[in-house]
Every structure is written in structure tokens, then in C-alpha cells.
Amino acid sequence: AEKRAAPDWAEQVLRQSKLEAVFLTNDFDDPLEGFDTSVYIPCLRTDDLVFKLAEPSVRMRLEQATDCELTDVASLRQSLSALFDHFTAHQARACAISLPPDFTPRKVSEGRAETALAALLEHETEADTSQKSSISQFIFWTLAELCDQHRFPFDLMIGVNRAVYPGGVYQGQDLFDKRTSLKQYADLFNAFPRVTYPISVLSSTSNQELVSYSWIFPNVVTNGHWWYSNIPAYIEVDCRSRLQAVPRHKQIGYYSDMYKLEFALPKFRMYRGILARVLSSDFVVGRGWSETRALELGRQVLRGNVETIFGGAS
């Protein structure tokens, strides 16, 4: 998705490209003004809230965005709720976050959260790691509660290690490892059964587990092929396994960071070619499906499920 929309020229390019809508990822303090939110659809990105609240600049941004001074857990909850109200009022369709391999969602008691937040406000980035971890877990769990209240899907992009190669270019510093497991999220999935979790995994090596969780958990959805799994050879294997095992209404075939609108055509053309090959070989030839039936499945994976899970373009 585009990070921010440039309203004038971007809308002209959008019309020429025949794209109907673009799903954004917006900073939590984005005013969401100056662009058509029915075309550029907002999404509340929450990484900074969960993992960087110890930084004074992040707390200042939160206070300015919500007009609420952060002093205790009650004011923190009030601020997070205000963000959801703001994004809901501007036609946002989801909440999203990218998560490191060692993060485990866990419900934190109010008392523990109060202690941790007090330590964080006093010591800021020098606060003990356990205190920062407790606040991260408390905020994350609160976001899940708010997704439940607002009927937002909660996009989880799981497994990223940030700044592994600090000398790299922008978006060329982060890598994955194999410590990631969706078992860490099982309590979350069970605690909020009404929340839909479109899940992206960073590598193809995690795809089999994602397929199994999407097969078993009613609220888990396979979501695209993220970053290092966004390689045609891996996509074809992952696509084939998902179509074989995951219920057809629980698959979002493809999404990708665009950064520029012009990136949409080659990226989606690549995925459509792979999807066509799999449908042709496995379903038309392998199972004797008609081409019409195979195309219906392809449309549902590419487009229909997006509209069902997130809502269609206005």
C-alpha cells in the first residue's frame, strides 16, 4: 500500500491505471485529510505505539493526536480509543502491525501495566526491558480489544527483525529468522474470536504453519506473500498449498508495498500469472474443473475476499 497519498497527480494516475482503490498504511497521528478516503483507504498502523512508546517523541505525537495527556493506564486507553474513533470516522478498514519473532501477545493486568507505564514515563528509553515489554503487550492486547469493538480486521505481519544490516538502504535493513511461530498467537486468536486476523509471514518457510492455522482457526486468514516470500518461485509453492488446504473464502491472494502507483501493474501481473498456472494445472487439468469455475475461484482469491473482509471501494 502507499504510505501517503499525493492527492492531485496521484488521483489522475489512479484513474488512468483503472485501479479502483489503494489500501494505505497510515501513521497513528495522520490527520487523514487532503485525499479521498474512499479511494485511498486508511489503515491504522500501530508499530510505534506498541514498541516505541518509551520515546518522548512518540508520546508527544500521541498526546497531540488525541488531545489527551498520557499519565496513567486510563489515559492510555482513552488515547487508543480516540485513535480508533478518528480512523473509523475517516473510513479506515483495518488496524495493522509488523511484529518481531520474539513477541508474544499476552494479557497484562491493570496493576502490572500501571507499574510498567510509570517506569516508562520516568525512565523513558532507559526503562527496564521487562517494563517496556509489559507495556508493549498491554497496548497490543488493548488494540485487539478495540478491533473487536470496532469490527476491524487486525493485520499481523509476523517475523521481522529490524535493522539487522544498519548500513543498508531504506527497506534494505531488515531480515527474518526461523524462530517465528504462530503458536505464540494462539491465545490471541482464541481470546478474540470475532476479530479477523489477515496474517502475513515474512518467509516461505513459515507458510505451512500459516496454512494449518488458517485451516483450523475460523478467524485466521492467509494474507499475500510478504517481503522475502514475495519471490515467484516461493509464491507458486505457497499459492498451491493454500488453494489445496485453506477454505477459499479465507485467502487474500496478494498485496504488496507499492511506494509508487506504477508498481501495481508488474507486481500484480506477476501474481496473476502464477495464480493462472496453478489454477490451470491443479484445477482445470488436475481436477477436471471448467475454466469458468477456475476463474471464479481466482477472482474470489484476488478480489472477492478483499471486499468481504475489508469492505469494497465506495
User: Which pLDDT value is given to residue 4?
Assistant: 47
Distance between CA atoms of residues 5 and 187, nearest Å: 36
- Check residue 26 and report its DSSP letter: B
User: Which pLDDT value is given to residue 116?
Assistant: 98
User: Which pLDDT value is given to residue 11?
Assistant: 66
Are 146 and 125 spatial neighbours (Cβ–Cβ below 8 Å)?
A: no
User: Which pLDDT value is given to residue 312?
Assistant: 52
Please list, residue by residue across 46-78, b when 16 or more beta carbons sit within 10 angstroms of its beta carbon and e when fewer do: bbbbbbebbeeebbebbbebbebebeebebbbe
pTM above 0.75, yes or no: yes
Are 50 and 136 spatial neighbours (Cβ–Cβ below 8 Å)?
A: yes
User: Which pLDDT value is given to residue 261?
Assistant: 79
3-state secondary structure (DSSP) of residue 260: coil
pLDDT digits (tens, 9 = 90+) for 29-88: 999 999 889 889 999 999 999 999 999 999 999 999 999 999 999 999 999 999 999 999
User: Which pLDDT value is given to residue 19?
Assistant: 84
Q: What is the mean pLDDT of residues 217-228?
A: 95
pLDDT digits (tens, 9 = 90+) for 227-261: 889 999 999 999 999 999 999 999 999 998 888 87
Cα of 126 vs its chain's centroid, Å: 29
Identify the CA nearest to 153 among candidates 144, 161, 166: 144
**Between helices 129-150 and 73-89, what is the axis angle to 10°?**
40
3-state secondary structure 251-299: EECCCCCCCCHHHHHHHHHHHHHHHHHHHHHHHHHHHCCCHHHHHHHHH
Rg of the chain over Cα atoms, rounded to whole angstroms, equals 20
What is the percent of the chain where pLDDT is above 90? Answer: 79
User: Which pLDDT value is given to residue 10?
Assistant: 63
pLDDT exceeds 80 at position 146: yes
